[in-house]
Amino acid sequence: MEKRWVYKDEPNQEIVENLSKELNINHYLSTLLIQRGIETFDQAKEFFRPSLSKLHDPFLMLNMDAAVNRLTDAVFNKEKILIYGDYDVDGTTSVSLIYLFLKQFSDQLEFYIPDRYTEGYGISEKGINHAIDRGFKLIIALDCGIRAIDRARQAKEAGIDLIICDHHIPGDKLPDAFAILDPKQKDCNYPFKELSGCGVGFKLLEGFCQQNTIEKEKLFDLLDLVAVSIASDIVPIVGENRILAFYGLKKLNQAPSAGLKSLIEISGKKNEFSISDVVFSIGPRINAAGRLTHAKESVNLLIGDSKETDAFADNLNDRNKERREFDQSITMDALEMIADFKEERKSTVLFKEDWHKGVIGIVASRCIEHYHRPTIILTESKGKATGSARSVDGFDVHSAISECADLLEQFGGHTHAAGLTLPLDNVEKFIDRFEEVVSDRIHPDQLIPKIEIDLDIPLSALTFKTFNVMSQMAPFGPQNMAPVFGTKNVIVDTTPKVIKEKHVKGFLHAENSTRLFEFIGFGMADKLEQLQIGTPFHIAYHLEENNYMGNKSLILNLRDIRFD
């Protein structure tokens, strides 16, 4: 699939030169920093040396006083506390964080995760009934609850206090809870708005530590869980999230908690974990239980001790293999259905009654990799059509779905992803209406995948010093992505090799140089015929380090190749 190359704006050259002198680095590195909002020596120092001392005071968050006071009373009066969380990675890590920390001070804790299929997302009626039946007087809801108007009322009428720790956008009306912690709520002056759900739970515990003069090191020991939530929930890795992710990854790589250690071992990865590694290796394994059976399996792993976590990790790994099989099988089905479309479309909406509900969001994303357009995958559940939507960059799929609201029973989500439920009889009408809305709104450029390139750079500037400075910009993720470089007019030295029938690997050099650089192009075996010795081409790539048997070298991980 052809890609658009979009270059980031070049910063003011005077600022580039000044920063290069202050930091003693080349102007390519200065450009990367300025593109990330780093323009002075002091900003660079804070960026390259994240410090836990720079975390914001948790009591700047609206309602933190009330939440910490109520939690303190419950712990020291030995009240029963129910820790309630969503079934995804952010929810299960949130529950595990609160449980592991508070169990040092209380033996009156239980956790509750709703069933994805029988209860659905958020605080459920069944969950509140469970709390009533078991005599809980306090519920801490994590990564959910900001729109739980009815369930908050149910809890209050039963005499249960509800503390909501959420990071989603509130509706027009807030739940009548004992305390709501959500930096996105109106009148909350907390300086950083992009915490994960687990991050909001972390701030509650940080406030608990401050109020009760508990060493924060006890809490910082659990930052590996926070890092996993930040990575898996795809929140921006800037500001406070950068600090939490930096120290959380350090903990994950040096002394992970027992459950995460078991997942690391079962993944087979030997090198240090990055944010990307967490997203593709740890996150799916934690998510697999919630998708196929029940997410309480994931929490049992994350809060378990070393004697039991290996068995839990094996179980999650098996679930993830099952999930992958479902995912691959349904994706193949879906791609065949798209290939059979009789006319050109600007959207994809597919329905099949026996597709597994737990993987349809993943399948929607896979379809977009092949057909770059807003995509909705629907299946049948409880006599209704239910589905997941995924979008392409710059197109608001939630807004497009809202134009079809009269055909739906419910829907929700945000710009890039959404969920929806509708009567089976309305599926065909919805497919046609959604196609009309997308066709009317989408820009032709949005139907072509884009690669955002930070800057053009000559191969001669790719040194270990450049790589070492660049790697200190990690952890990479949303709003601080790993740099993508562009280099024009490079030539292969010899005919590249094809690996596993899909990938291409070889050596290249600049037109005016004989210095060789190794490259690898994943999924680019189809480009082999065009990679002729002596024929110049252009590349977009990540600069990475290859470490084989202790021998380190630089390697270009190609994102795209152009021959014009």
- The whole-number pLDDT of residue 267 equals 86
Please, which pLDDT band fits residue 313 given cuts at 50, 70 and 90? confident
| Cα–Cα distance measured from residue 405 to residue 410, given in angstroms and rounded to the nearest whole number | 8
Average pLDDT over residues 421-435: 97
Residue 305 has pLDDT above 90, yes or no: no
- The whole-number pLDDT of residue 317 equals 77
- The whole-number pLDDT of residue 307 equals 67
Asked whether the beta carbons of 205 and 94 are under 8 A apart, the reply is no
- The whole-number pLDDT of residue 547 equals 83
Per-chain mean pLDDT for the chain: 93
pLDDT digits (tens, 9 = 90+) for 534-556: 899 999 999 999 887 778 999 99
Sign of CA dihedral 418, 419, 422, 425: positive
Sign of CA dihedral 236, 237, 243, 248: positive
Residue 75 has pLDDT above 90, yes or no: yes
Amino acid at 223: L
- Residue 363 is encoded by which pair of tokens? 């399948």
Alpha-carbon 385 to chain mean position: 27
Asked whether the beta carbons of 510 and 556 are under 8 A apart, the reply is no
Residue 1 has pLDDT above 80, yes or no: no
| SS3 label, residue 21 | helix
Asked whether the beta carbons of 141 and 32 are under 8 A apart, the reply is no
pLDDT digits (tens, 9 = 90+) for 440-471: 999 999 999 999 999 999 999 999 999 999 99
- The whole-number pLDDT of residue 84 equals 98
- The whole-number pLDDT of residue 124 equals 94
- The whole-number pLDDT of residue 326 equals 81
| Cα–Cα distance measured from residue 21 to residue 30, given in angstroms and rounded to the nearest whole number | 9
Tell me the residue length of the chain.
Answer: 564
Asked whether the beta carbons of 84 and 111 are under 8 A apart, the reply is yes
Of the candidates 531, 523, 533, the residue with the CA atom closest to the CA atom of residue 558: 523
- Buried-state track 546-558, b at ≥16 Cβ within 10 A, e below 16: eeeeeeeebbbeb
Please, which pLDDT band fits residue 476 given cuts at 50, 70 and 90? very high
- The whole-number pLDDT of residue 411 equals 85
| Cα–Cα distance measured from residue 524 to residue 506, given in angstroms and rounded to the nearest whole number | 12
Whether pTM > 0.95 for this model: the answer is no
Average pLDDT over residues 368-380: 96
Please, which pLDDT band fits residue 392 given cuts at 50, 70 and 90? very high
- The whole-number pLDDT of residue 191 equals 97
Please, which pLDDT band fits residue 306 given cuts at 50, 70 and 90? low
Among left, alpha and beta (phi > 0; psi -120 to 50; other), residue 383 is: left
pLDDT digits (tens, 9 = 90+) for 50-69: 999 999 999 999 999 999 99
Amino acid at 77: N
- Residue 370 is encoded by which pair of tokens? 């092949």
- The whole-number pLDDT of residue 293 equals 73
Of the candidates 228, 139, 128, the residue with the CA atom closest to the CA atom of residue 180: 139
Among 17-31, 108-122, 215-229, name the one with the lowest average pLDDT.
Answer: 108-122
- Residue 551 is encoded by which pair of tokens? 């021998």
| SS3 label, residue 110 | strand
Alpha-carbon 172 to chain mean position: 27
Among 163-167, 180-184, 400-404, 524-528, name the one with the lowest average pLDDT.
Answer: 524-528
User: What SS3 string covers 262-291?
Assistant: HHHHHHCCCCCCCHHHHHHHHHHHHHHHHH
Average pLDDT over residues 418-441: 96
Residue 436 has pLDDT above 80, yes or no: yes
Residue 308 has pLDDT above 80, yes or no: no
